Amino acid sequence: MSGSRYLVIHGHFYQPPRENPVTGAVPEQPTASPYHDWNERVTRECYATNARARINGPNGRVSRIVNNYEHISFNVGPTLMSWLAENAPETAALIVKADRDGAIGHNGHGPAIAQVYNHVIMPLANRRDKLTQILWGREYFRKTFERLPEGMWLAETAADAESLSLLSKAGIKYTILAQGQVDAVRPVTEDRSGPWEPCRTPADPREPYRVYWGRGPHDYVNAFVYDGPVSRAVAFESLLRDGQAFLNRIEGAFGQPGPTGWPRLVNLATDGESYGHHFQFGEMALAWAIDQLLRVRPKSGDPIALTNYGEFLAKYPPRLEARLVENSSWSCCHGVERWRSDCGCHAGGQPGWNQKWRTPLRDGLNWLRDCLARVFETSLADLLTDPWAARNAYVSVLSSGYDPGEKERFLHDWAKKSLSRAETLLVWEQMEAQLMGQYMFTSCGWFFDELTGLEPVQNLRYAHRAITLSERLSDQDLQGGLVAFLRQAQPNDPAYPTGEAVWDRLVVPRHLSGSRLAAHWAAARLMGVSESLGLFKYQRFSAPAGQTADADLESRRVMLGRVEISDPRLGQEERVCLASCPPGGEPLNIQVFRPAGPEPFPAQAIVRRLLENPSLLDDPAKLVGALAAPAPAFEAFSLDDLYPSVRQTILTDLVGDFFRDLKAYTEKSFNLCSDMLVKYSAAHSRLDWLSRFVFRVVTEAKVESFIQKMKKGEKINLSTLGDLVNEKETAGSIHNEPVLTQAAQDFLAKLLELAKTPGARPTVLQEALAFMRFLSKNRLRVDFWDLQNRWHSLAMDGQFLGALDPAQRQTFKDLGEALNFEWPSL
């Protein structure tokens, strides 16, 4: 690290928690289409692409693939990183690798920094929650990157003296602020007695500062203030459309030379999503600029050294002390009012809307937080040595994915005594309630324009989950108390008179109680579909042997049995379910109640009783009374009570037999229809609408058979498939072309994976090349991104390349060219 000009580019990569509070799975979010949810969409557009960023050569072909994270400063919030680790593990691994490799190139200082756990606005949190956010963020970082963090990102850079003091006490060396968050500076001295010099313009971002929070010599945390104009140009002014313009703007930010012996620093900070999500191909502009700085500019004798904050701070400690503007942030000119009042800051979605709802939402959740705290302290006082310290340590359980061994260690460290099963359940319920209590303050719930939006509703769902875990232990009506605040909130959407309507229609109906979870299991089992249904992350369903029964009763299907629902976060629940439906699936009727005790449930005997007296099914209350004595309280569910995605799965299955028969018929009819199509085309005849419809149906059915073959990895006849694709000009567009191209992409991925096997290489490489040429010839647009990554991985594998004979090597190179690569070394 030498020279006089240094550059730090910081990316704040973050997504809020999006999981269903009960299932732990992220539900489908239609606004993220064509992806399942926003995490998946932004990963493809930003997080994954920055780990594998393209640098194009002069001819527009890909010449290199690089990991941007290695050369910038970045934080990845725990709620995002945990999702990546499970759903995009290759990207998560590349991010961790970038920190390790970046440290090697920067004197042991890795580019990654930590983040407060789930992005709460720190000045608006109480001291206890601030500490938890910092300790959870620090520990999650340590476990992920296998080192302690030097720096920590504060959500929205929102800062106050108390938060900075807790950062310092937690061993955090620095944070990042906006220029407007510093209003005066003075030289760093031992007695700190010098006069303050007000910042007549925003604080100079070209050097670090020391921000004291107390009078002691070590009562400080260091801070970097990012360059506002350059950062805004990246985030809002389309600077990333041109890598050269990006580099030129950075060059201009250095200004005049500084004092002799003191370097000039340019540092910019933006949401990391700017690089690829907010601006398509922004990651490529970043990669190109980095490449210029690392490989091209040094040869010109006018270098700009890429560094990170930790490395710069180690060599150049602050010369200046800065005075913090208390309760300030980077995205609200009114301090932190954006997250608690109608200050005028908004996302600009709808003219005329107001955000008066922010205050009652904040006040209501603050009230609920304090109620939850009282329940937490009271219920765990006799069980844990220090409930609040235990809460801070609970991150070890969270970051382990609720590993049983980690949970056991947690109880060993914090339990006052040997806990009963009920007491253990109480500990886990209250720890989970506190996690939900943190999640309900995620900053995104106030950032945008409308209370009915995705983010505020998600925060309220976390609040609801916390209430359901704690309400039986509270001497207050937790739900009623929160709703009283929500009645004062006025959404902009006229369909919702107050926030109470939001609660009643968007929050409460989406809650999955134990009985409702059992109803989903019963419906799935009755209809013969997968019991997971893609809905559950944590829950596992099992039926004890001999305690379930299925029967056909007077044209109705019936399922009766005990289900055990296990959840690693809390433990196990049991329910008894009776589900019945007539042919066609409507009306689906499910009765659920708790079993009276651990005795085996006599499902077979009860089914025999139903066979003798089918009329019992017509009166659910009478039936449930006949199942057990005394008659248990039961809950009734119908198809409308199931999650939309589950309803769709079940309804699709109900009509599946019909469509399977139709597909079989169209498959048989294909050859005849195909011949007719050729004749019509040759005669230049115009098809009537019915003929076009029939031809399209049979053509798509045949295409579907090819899709299924590709999904199985079977070899296919490209000539026949090409004829099918081309027939769409006569029969009309193929409706499932996106499905076809996705199947083709997955098929090619399997071939490239198979190419790693030495014996399969000659055939596999030739087959992949032929398929690529087929796609080009028939103008089928396939997303090459994943395929390019796979080919590049093989191209970087010297052992793989060395094992290729000249003919195979040429085929592999031709395949790379078909994937738009430029690779002179091949």
Digit-coded pLDDT (tens) for 770-812:
989 988 888 888 899 999 999 999 999 988 988 899 999 999 9
Residue 631 CA from chain centroid, whole number = 44
What pLDDT sits at residue 726? 72
3-class SS of residue 177: strand
Instruction: State the DSSP string of 21-60.
Output: TTT-SPPP-GGGTTSSSHHHHHIIIIIHHHHTEEEE-TTS
pLDDT over 90 at 298, yes or no: no
pLDDT of residue 709: 80
If you write DSSP's letter for every residue of 314-358 in order, what string do you get? Answer: HHS--SEEEEE-TTB-SS-TTSSGGGTS--S----SSTT---TTH
Q: Is the pLDDT of residue 630 over 80?
A: no
pLDDT band at 720 (very low <50, low <70, confident <90, very high): confident
pLDDT at 647 over 70: yes
List pLDDT tens digits, range 424-446: 999 999 999 999 999 999 999 99
Query: Is the bond preceding 351 in cis, omega lying within 30 degrees of 0?
Result: no
φ, ψ dihedrals at 799, nearest 5°: -65, -40
d(CA 314, CA 1): 11
Mean predicted confidence (pLDDT) in 373-392: 98
Query: Within a 10 A sphere around the Cβ of 200, how many other Cβ atoms?
Result: 5
Tokens representing 420 are 């009963």
Cis peptide before 587 (omega within 30 of 0): yes
Handedness of CA 272, 277, 282, 284 (dihedral sign): positive
Beta strands 556-567; 548-553: pairing state: antiparallel
Per-residue pLDDT, averaged over 183-197, amounts to: 93
The per-residue pLDDT for 664 is 63
pLDDT at 138: 98
Task: Tell me the pLDDT band of 605, cut-offs 50, 70 and 90.
Answer: confident
More confident residue, 657 or 313: 313
Rounded CA-CA distance 225/227 in Å is 7
Query: Tell me, what's the pLDDT at 727?
Result: 61
Q: According to the model, what pLDDT value does residue 732 have?
A: 53
Q: 22-36, 294-308, 358-372, 450-464 — which is least confidently predicted?
A: 294-308
Distance CA 238, CA 270 (A): 13
- Residue 555 is inside which H or E element, if any? none
What percentage of the chain carries pLDDT values higher than 90? Answer: 62
Average pLDDT over residues 50-79: 95
Fill in the amino acid letter for 193. S
Q: What value does the mean pLDDT of the chain take?
A: 89
Q: How many other β-carbons are positioned within 10 Å of the β-carbon of residue 166?
A: 21
Is-contact 37 80, C-beta < 8 A? Answer: no
Q: What is the pLDDT of residue 675?
A: 61
Strands 556-567 and 540-542: antiparallel
The pLDDT of residue 554: 73
pLDDT tens for 520-537 read 999 888 887 776 666 789
Residue 592 has pLDDT above 80, yes or no: yes
Lowest mean pLDDT: which of 643-652, 664-673, 726-735?
Answer: 726-735
Q: CA 294, CA 723: separation in Å to the nearest integer?
A: 50
> Would you state the pLDDT for residue 680?
59
- Give the pLDDT score at 503: 98
The whole-angstrom separation of Cα 425 and Cα 568 is: 11
Chain-centre distance of CA 94, in angstroms?
A: 17
Provide the 3-class DSSP secondary structure of residue 381.
coil
At 191, give phi and psi (nearest 5°): -90, -10
Given a cut of 60, whether residue 681 has pLDDT beyond it is no
Question: Is pLDDT of 623 > 80?
Answer: no
**Residue 580 has what pLDDT?**
83
Dist. CA 353–CA 346, nearest whole Å: 9
Q: What is the mean pLDDT of the segment spanning 248-270? A: 85
Closest C-alpha among 513, 639, 645 to residue 575: 513
Q: What is the pLDDT of residue 131?
A: 98
Residue 315 pLDDT level (bands cut at 50, 70, 90): very high
Q: Is 826's pLDDT higher than 60?
A: no
pLDDT confidence of residue 89:
97
CA 14/CA 46 separation, integer angstroms? 11
CB 496 within 8 A of CB 487: no
Query: For 503, which DSSP code?
Result: I
Phi-psi region of 731 (alpha: psi -120 to 50; beta: other; left: phi over 0): alpha
In this predicted model, which residue has the larger pLDDT, 613 or 304? 304
Residues paired with residue 769 on neighbouring β-strands, in sequence order: none
Q: Which residue has the higher pLDDT, 177 or 216?
A: 177
Distance CA 30, CA 403 (A): 32
**Given this model, what pLDDT does residue 241 score?**
92
- Other CB atoms within a 10 A radius of the CB of residue 90 amount to 14
Helix, strand, coil tally for the chain in percent (to 5): 50, 15, 35
- First-to-last alpha carbon distance for the chain, in angstroms, is 34
Give residues with Cβ within 8 angstroms of 485, minimum separation 6: 360, 361, 363, 364, 367, 499
Res 672 pLDDT > 70:
no
Does residue 364 contact residue 485 with C-beta atoms inside 8 Å?
Answer: yes
Angle, CA of 615, 618 and 621, to the nearest 5°: 110
The CA distance from 158 to 124, in Å, is 9
Which burial class, exposed, middle or buried, applies to 419 when counting CB atoms under 10 A from its CB (0-12, 13-18, 19+)? middle
Label residue 758 exposed, middle or buried (CB < 10 Å: 0-12, 13-18, 19+): exposed
Question: For residues 622 and 624, what is the distance between their CA atoms, to the nearest angstrom?
Answer: 6
Cα separation, 203 vs 207, in Å, equals 10
- pLDDT confidence of residue 348: 82
With contact defined as beta carbons under 8 Å apart, do 823 and 816 qualify? yes
- Return the higher-pLDDT residue of 423 and 654: 423
Digit-coded pLDDT (tens) for 570-586? 998 889 888 888 766 66
Interatomic CA distance for residues 563 and 518, integer angstroms: 7
Q: Give the model's pLDDT for residue 824.
A: 63
> Which of helix, strand or coil describes residue 84?
helix
CB atoms within 10 A of CB 497: 12
Please report the pLDDT score of residue 712 as a whole number.
79
61-65, 446-450, 655-659: which has the minimum mean pLDDT?
Answer: 655-659
Hey, which residues does 183 pair with through a beta bridge?
Answer: none
* pLDDT reported for residue 209: 97
